[in-house]
Amino acid sequence: MNNRRGSLLVISGPSGIGKGTVCAELMKRCERLCFSISCTTRPMRPGDEEGVTYFFKTEEEFDRMIREDRFLEYAGMYGKRYGTPRAFVQEKMEAGMDVLLDIETQGALQVMQKAKGDVTSVFLLPPSMQELHSRLIGRGTETPEKAEMRFKSAYNEVDLARQYDFVIVNDRLEETVEAVKAILEASHYRPERAYTHIDALKKEETNP
Amino acid sequence: MNNRRGSLLVISGPSGIGKGTVCAELMKRCERLCFSISCTTRPMRPGDEEGVTYFFKTEEEFDRMIREDRFLEYAGMYGKRYGTPRAFVQEKMEAGMDVLLDIETQGALQVMQKAKGDVTSVFLLPPSMQELHSRLIGRGTETPEKAEMRFKSAYNEVDLARQYDFVIVNDRLEETVEAVKAILEASHYRPERAYTHIDALKKEETNP
């Protein structure tokens, strides 16, 4: 057992690729997995709960967290800001939990730089661009214009896949989820995890 | 499905760590896994079968294979030589099989250099050096002097673990085998496997 510490699992890919569905399924199947909880400057709404849906911050608090380098990534969206707090992720990992981060491609790259040794990153690709197009239009969560805009930017995003640790063509949900489960399990055996154990072995007497 | 091509799975670690047991168990549990078959210059013995136990080569043939860079690694042992033929491994991988290589630490490092993009390497560590000592003496396959010699060299070998893709403390067989299975599964999703698919996506029309 050389995997007491948890991993930070980053799941990314273009809009419409199905990150949310994959993550929800993973949460069901992985015992020691928890979602990362973001900080936000948006006001609380009915149903929100501090530290459950988000950590709610004032603009000033958010600014200070940026200055103190306390985010693994942050971004402004629709005037309100969102960020992944480093401390929350670290605490969960120290406690042996794996932390799941469902995040768009720019945020993912920030996290991969900031938390290098701790991150295992997965990029989801569509079977075809046509398929991605259908999914984006089909989900109907936004105007057709916005969906088309997202689709266009997906062409640039797929190139980013090369910078990730693992890449999965998200064709069948079942296969994708099992692949990510294996990737998460494997991440517990990265060599850095064993450094302390190696040092301990070297310190043992040569003549037992 | 972006994993048509097989992986080359290298299992290594100091003498007595239990590579053989782990590999035998893996072979039972993984459908598309086959052992790498070595070339050797030792004479055939009863029970040997060409292309099954080994590929039998004359000294001249073996020399030529070295000159033509047709080994992923080779070594001389007891005057007779053994080597891992690159072509055999490549053919199996092209056919979608994963190839398993149970190999001592020096050979493993050669393979890792020669077949970089294709190799997924796993190093097995003992829970303690004392435990490794018991296993080496306990298996009684060689003189106590030889076992002690192997044990001494294990102290240097454990440092090599840092150069591998994954490191497992081989404490309980069941846990080790499941960890290697996950590592093998994850290896099918390395980003290089998806490069062709990424190129294909980029070539699709922007207006489906």
* Position B107 pLDDT exceeds 80: yes
Question: Residue B188: its pLDDT value, please?
Answer: 96
Which among B123, B158, B190 has the least Cβ separation from residue A201?
B158
> Amino acid letter at A82?
Y
Q: In the CATH hierarchy, which fold is given to the domain comprising A8-36+98-203?
A: Rossmann fold (3.40.50)
Number of neighbouring beta carbons within 10 Å of residue A22: 23
Q: How many residues does this entry show for chain A?
A: 208
C-alpha to C-alpha distances, B128 to B17, B157, B168, nearest whole angstrom: 11, 14, 13
- Over residues B27-55, the mean pLDDT reads 95
Using CA coordinates, name the residue in chain A closest to B193.
A167
Question: Residue A127: its pLDDT value, please?
Answer: 96
B60-83: burial string, b at 16+ Cβ within 10 Å, e else: eebeebeeeebbbbbeeeeeebbb
Asked if B128's CB is within 8 angstroms of A204's CB, the reply is: yes
Asked if B194's CB is within 8 angstroms of A155's CB, the reply is: no
Residues of A in contact with B129 (CB under 8 A): 201, 204-205, 208
> Amino acid letter at B187?
S
Question: Residue B157: its pLDDT value, please?
Answer: 93
Using CA coordinates, name the residue in chain A closest to B123.
A191
Question: Residue B206: its pLDDT value, please?
Answer: 60
What CATH number has the domain spanning B8-36+97-203?
3.40.50.300
Asked if B186's CB is within 8 angstroms of A158's CB, the reply is: no
Average pLDDT across chain B, whole number = 92
Residues of A in contact with B190 (CB under 8 A): 166-167
Asked if A152's CB is within 8 angstroms of B206's CB, the reply is: yes
Pairing outcome for strands B55-56 and B39-40: parallel
Residues of B in contact with A179 (CB under 8 A): 185-186, 188-189
> Amino acid letter at B194?
A
Asked if A171's CB is within 8 angstroms of B201's CB, the reply is: no
- The answer to whether the CB of A112 falls within 8 A of the CB of A10 is yes
Closest CA to A178 of A35, A18, A12, A26: A26
Question: Residue A1: its pLDDT value, please?
Answer: 44
Question: Residue B147: its pLDDT value, please?
Answer: 86
Q: Give the whole-number percent of chain B exceeding pLDDT 70.
A: 96
CA dist B46 and B65 (Å) reads: 26
Predicted ipTM of the assembly: 0.91
Q: How far is B207 from chain A (nearest CA, A)?
A: 9
- The answer to whether the CB of A123 falls within 8 A of the CB of A167 is yes
Written as one string, the DSSP assignment of A52-76 is TTBEE--HHHHHHHHHTT-EEEEEE
* Position B1 pLDDT exceeds 60: no
Residues of A in contact with B158 (CB under 8 A): 198, 201-202
Asked if B208's CB is within 8 angstroms of A189's CB, the reply is: no
Which among A159, A186, A193 has the least Cβ separation from residue B198?
A159
Interface test with A, best of B129, B189, B202, B204 (most A CBs within 10 A): B189
Structure tokens at B207: 């207006």
Ramachandran assignment for A71, one of left (phi > 0), alpha (psi -120 to 50 degrees), beta (any other): beta
Structure tokens at A120: 């295992």
The pair phi, psi for residue B49, each rounded to 5°, is -140, 130
Residues of A in contact with B12 (CB under 8 A): none
The pair phi, psi for residue B30, each rounded to 5°, is -110, 120
Averaged in consecutive runs of 10 residues, what is the pLDDT profile of chain A (208 residues)? 80 94 97 96 94 95 96 87 96 96 95 92 96 86 85 91 96 97 97 93 75
Ramachandran assignment for A96, one of left (phi > 0), alpha (psi -120 to 50 degrees), beta (any other): left
Question: Residue A165: its pLDDT value, please?
Answer: 96
Domains of chain B by residue range: 8-36+97-203
Closest CA to A189 of B119, B19, B186, B130: B186
Residue B22 CB partners (closer than 8 Å, separation 6+): B11, B124, B170, B173, B176, B177, B180
Question: Residue B208: its pLDDT value, please?
Answer: 53
CA dist B152 and A129 (Å) reads: 57
